[in-house]
């Protein structure tokens, strides 16, 4: 079966959650013996040269096109007089369209898979130049993220603009759900939402599968319990929002009772305004070259997310490394978790601070949660089985023609 995968960013190397989702999807399709072409957008803001040494050798063909998705004030204002969300139109690029037409004209694909709703801006071109079945890989319900961001936005002008864009994004997202032939969601929650809108649509759940055996565990005795770490892409507004919430409202409560504890904020593209903060006992590391150093050294990681949808790949990764994770309910959505068994759930500043304090005082509890977290990763996210439902859906779509 010939498949073309179109993605809105370059996942080689997979240095953030979104990239990891695309990377593991490519890995899963190849693992199932599909003939795979890959066409990538390479946004200037996230630009990485396409290093073929990092690309699986069994990809049939791969190319990347540099595009500019950086927000532009003039374009954002002009968008007020348009119908589609600026969140989506930023991903349209004439050079990418030209390359896409070249791929479609020279190859006969059975399936074309769109990674995320942002790639769906090219849906009309695909339908014009190809008869392939189209599958949307819905990384999340995108408009829900922005609705949640709005709940914590105090700037009235910004809130008004985001409300408008969120409404348009919802309309676009629903239109794409209707027009594609099949959808793969990352959680049962997202699947249920889409099926409530389109009950007859073919939908499967494909969480981010990982080669769990490659995630080597460090003996518990070698892990530091007095340093907590956060890892995430800090060029993403919901992550920025969550880190500021933690630093302002949670961390001071922790230090009142545990002044010896240390905090590491690590991630991709930490903005200067965040790096320049002088929070006590806090260190910032931007663009960490190898995240394994954090997972190997420290016992507890935090996911204080206030706005999101889909599934947090970093939680799956943390579970694969056997970490004790403290997360909000929003952060852990879609994960088969049990509070105090394979993760700790905390939503208020007081709950979050107390969870960290309790774990620091009870190492045996941290060890138990780590063990159960690893078992969860092995049971639900090992790549050997995760992608089989998607491949079955491919076959059903192709054979139905």
Tell me the CATH number at 231.
3.40.50.2000
Q: Which domain holds residue 388?
A: 2-209+383-399
Q: Which residue has the tokens 């939908």?
A: 203
Confidence of residue 237 (pLDDT cuts 50, 70, 90): confident
Tell me how far the alpha carbon of residue 112 is from its chain's centroid.
Answer: 21
Say how far apart CA 78 and CA 352 lie, in whole Å: 42
Pair (290, 148) in one structural domain: no
Q: Is 392 found in the same domain as 264?
A: no
pLDDT score of 45: 87
Q: Are 95 and 106 in the same domain?
A: yes
Q: Are both 123 and 146 inside the same structural domain?
A: yes
Same domain, 178 and 319: no
Question: Mean pLDDT over residues 336-358, rounded?
Answer: 97
Q: Mean pLDDT for the chain?
A: 92
pLDDT for the residue 309: 53
Distance CA 208, CA 143 (A): 21
Provide the strand spans (E) within 234-378: 262-268, 282-286, 298-303, 324-327, 344-345
Higher pLDDT, 306 or 359: 359
Structure tokens at 233: 């892409």
269: left (phi over 0), alpha (psi -120 to 50) or beta: left
Which has the closest alpha carbon to 264: 219, 236, 302, 316?
302
Q: How far apart are CA 317 and CA 312, in angstroms?
A: 9
Going by C-alpha positions, the residue among 277, 272, 294, 285 that lies closest to residue 223 is 294
Neighbouring CB atoms inside 10 A of 289's CB total 9
- Is residue 100 over pLDDT 80? yes
Confidence of residue 123 (pLDDT cuts 50, 70, 90): very high
Structure tokens at 349: 């500043």
Whether residue 335 sits in one domain with residue 271: yes
pLDDT level of residue 313 (50, 70, 90 thresholds): confident
Q: What is the share, in percent, of the chain residues with pLDDT greater than 90?
A: 72
Q: Are 237 and 296 contacting, i.e. CB atoms less than 8 angstroms apart?
A: no
Mean pLDDT of 49-62: 94
| Residue 63 and residue 42 in one domain | yes
Same domain, 260 and 162: no
Q: Are residues 52 and 185 in the same domain?
A: yes
Specify which residues 64 forms β-bridges with: 40
Domain count, the chain: 2
8 A C-beta contact, residue 267 and residue 286: yes
325 and 254 in a common domain: yes
CA 36 – CA 22 distance, rounded (Å): 13
- Whether the pLDDT of residue 1 is over 70: the answer is yes
The count of residues in the chain is 401
Distance CA 218, CA 299 (A): 10
The pLDDT assigned to 311 comes to: 60
357 lies in the same domain as 260: yes
| 14, 123: one domain | yes
Per DSSP, the chain holds a count of helices (H) and strands (E) of: 17, 13
């Amino acid at each position: 079966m010939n498949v073309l995968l179109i993605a809105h960013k370059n996942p080689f190397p997979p240095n953030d959650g979104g990239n990891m989702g695309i990377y593991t999807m490519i890995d899963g399709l190849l693992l199932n013996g599909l003939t795979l072409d890959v066409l990538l957008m390479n946004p200037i803001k996230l630009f990485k040269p396409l290093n073929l040494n990092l690309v699986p050798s069994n990809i049939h063909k791969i190319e990347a096109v540099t595009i500019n998705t950086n927000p532009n004030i003039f374009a954002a204002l002009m968008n007020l007089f348009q119908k589609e969300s600026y969140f989506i139109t930023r991903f349209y690029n004439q050079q990418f369209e030209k390359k896409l037409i070249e791929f479609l004209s020279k190859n006969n694909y059975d399936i074309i898979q769109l990674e995320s709703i942002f790639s769906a801006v090219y849906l009309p071109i695909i339908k014009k130049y190809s008869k392939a079945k189209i599958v949307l890989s819905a990384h999340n319900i995108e408009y829900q993220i922005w609705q949640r961001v709005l709940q914590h936005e105090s700037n009235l002008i910004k809130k008004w603009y985001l409300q408008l864009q969120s409404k348009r994004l919802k309309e676009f997202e629903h239109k794409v759900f209707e027009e594609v032939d099949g959808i793969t969601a990352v959680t049962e929650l997202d699947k249920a939402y889409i099926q409530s809108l389109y009950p007859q649509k073919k939908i499967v759940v494909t969480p981010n599968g990982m080669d769990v055996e490659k995630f080597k565990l460090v003996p518990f005795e070698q892990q530091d319990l007095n340093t907590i770490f956060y890892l995430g892409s800090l060029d993403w507004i919901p992550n920025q929002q969550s880190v500021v919430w933690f630093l302002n409202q949670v961390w001071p409560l922790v230090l009142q009772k545990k002044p010896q504890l240390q905090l590491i904020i690590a991630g991709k593209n930490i903005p200067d305004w965040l790096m320049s903060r002088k929070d006590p006992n806090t260190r910032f590391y931007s663009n960490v070259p190898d995240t394994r150093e954090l997972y190997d050294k420290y016992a507890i990681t935090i996911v204080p997310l206030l706005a999101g949808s889909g599934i947090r790949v970093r939680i799956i990764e943390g579970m694969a490394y056997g970490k004790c994770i403290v997360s909000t309910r929003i952060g852990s959505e879609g994960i088969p978790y049990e509070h105090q068994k394979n993760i700790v759930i905390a939503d208020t500043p007081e709950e979050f601070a107390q969870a960290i304090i309790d774990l620091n005082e009870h190492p045996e509890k941290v060890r138990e949660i780590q063990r159960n977290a690893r078992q969860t990763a092995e049971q639900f996210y090992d790549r050997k089985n995760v992608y089989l439902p998607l491949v079955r859906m491919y076959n059903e779509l192709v054979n139905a023609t």
